[in-house]
Amino acid sequence: MILNFLQSIGAYVLDAFASLGRASLFLMQVLMGIKDVLLRPRLLIRELYSVGVLSLLIIVFSAIFVGMVLSLLGYVTLVDFGAESSLGVLVSLSLIRELGPVLSALLFSGRAGSALTAEIGLMKATEQLASMEMMAVDPIRRIVTPRFLAGFISLPLLTIIFMALGIYAGYLVGSVWLGVDEGSYWSQMQNKVEFWHDVVNGIIKSVVFGFVVTWIAVYQGYNAMPTSEGVSRATTNSVVYSALAVLGLDFILTAIMFI
């Protein structure tokens, strides 16, 4: 009875390590293909379109609403202390340090990561990957690496757009609607937001998230069971694991960067 219990724990842990090892080996193979992709940038540009440009709409939409809500709630609290001139600092620091990178990564894993997993998984289920191998085309280099690279490049760019738009939307609600002085909104922000300490660290966060989210997405797709149920499970796993990884890593990165 106890031995069975111990065995199930052991099997679970060993399984987890084995899949981590498989994912790392897979990542190695994907990274080895980068030079081939850079020699044929057409492939990369097509993926940048489907991963980056098509995610733009949801990123823009959420950035505007998150910025507006942040400004509205911040104003309600700050005005009690007569500190509503710090509204710009509140909105910009929360967006740059935390909400921009994290929300973009979560939205990105829902919009682009799941699509990558489903696409690659379906290619596997319909044996397109196997037929490529038959034609001596490496499916990892031809299919996976461009998608990985596109996701890795797109997320930081989307995050930067998220931050800038969110802060502007916060300005629209705070200054134009609620009447916080325009000068103090921008000038206090410029005084408090450090380029290297805040902006660059926020972008580093999003680079890490982009790496992890696309890694999980392409790995889940490539390792999906070649059935319709397998593809659906891989897509779910891709989004769930990405979200958990992003939130966990965010805590670690925040502890390293901003303490």
Partner 1 sequence: MGSSRKTEIFVGAFVLLALLAFFVLAMNISNLGSLGSDKGYTVNAQFDNVGGLQPRAKVTLSGVSVGRVTGISYDKETFRAVVTMTINGGVDYLPSDTQASIYTSGLLGEQYISLEPGAEDEVLAEGSAVTLTQSAVVLEEIIGKLLVSFTTKD
User: Cα–Cα distance between 150 and 145 in angstroms, integer?
Assistant: 8
Stretch that binds partner 1, among 5-13, 42-50, 233-241, 248-256 (CB under 8 A): 42-50
Stretch that binds partner 1, among 64-72, 133-141, 164-172, 214-222 (CB under 8 A): 164-172
Q: Which of 37, 120, 165, 243 is in the footprint of partner 1 by CB under 8 A?
A: 165
Name the 3-class secondary structure at 82.
Answer: coil
Stretch that binds partner 1, among 2-10, 64-72, 191-199, 232-240 (CB under 8 A): 191-199
Q: Which of 23, 27, 34, 56 is in the footprint of partner 1 by CB under 8 A?
A: 56
Half-sphere exposure of 256 (CA within 13 A, CB side): 9
Under the criterion CB under 8 A, does residue 188 sit at the interface with partner 1? no
CB closer to partner 1, 103 vs 158: 158
CB closer to partner 1, 213 vs 245: 213
Under the criterion CB under 8 A, does residue 78 sit at the interface with partner 1? no
To 5 degrees, how large is the angle CA 49–CA 228–CA 213?
A: 40
User: Cα–Cα distance between 204 and 230 in angstroms, integer?
Assistant: 34
Q: What single-letter DSSP state applies at residue 227?
A: S
H helices of the chain, in order, are 2-32, 34-39, 41-51, 56-78, 87-94, 100-108, 114-125, 128-134, 139, 145-171, 182-192, 201-222, 228-257
Under the criterion CB under 8 A, does residue 42 sit at the interface with partner 1? yes
- Judge contact between 87 and 173, C-beta under 8 A: no
Under the criterion CB under 8 A, does residue 39 sit at the interface with partner 1? no
CB closer to partner 1, 191 vs 236: 191
- Judge contact between 245 and 220, C-beta under 8 A: no
Task: Give me the least distance between CB of 164 and partner 1, in Å please.
Answer: 4
Name the site residues for partner 1 (rule: CB under 8 A).
Answer: 42, 45-46, 48-49, 52-53, 56, 92, 96, 156-158, 160-161, 163-165, 167, 186, 189-191, 193-195, 197-199
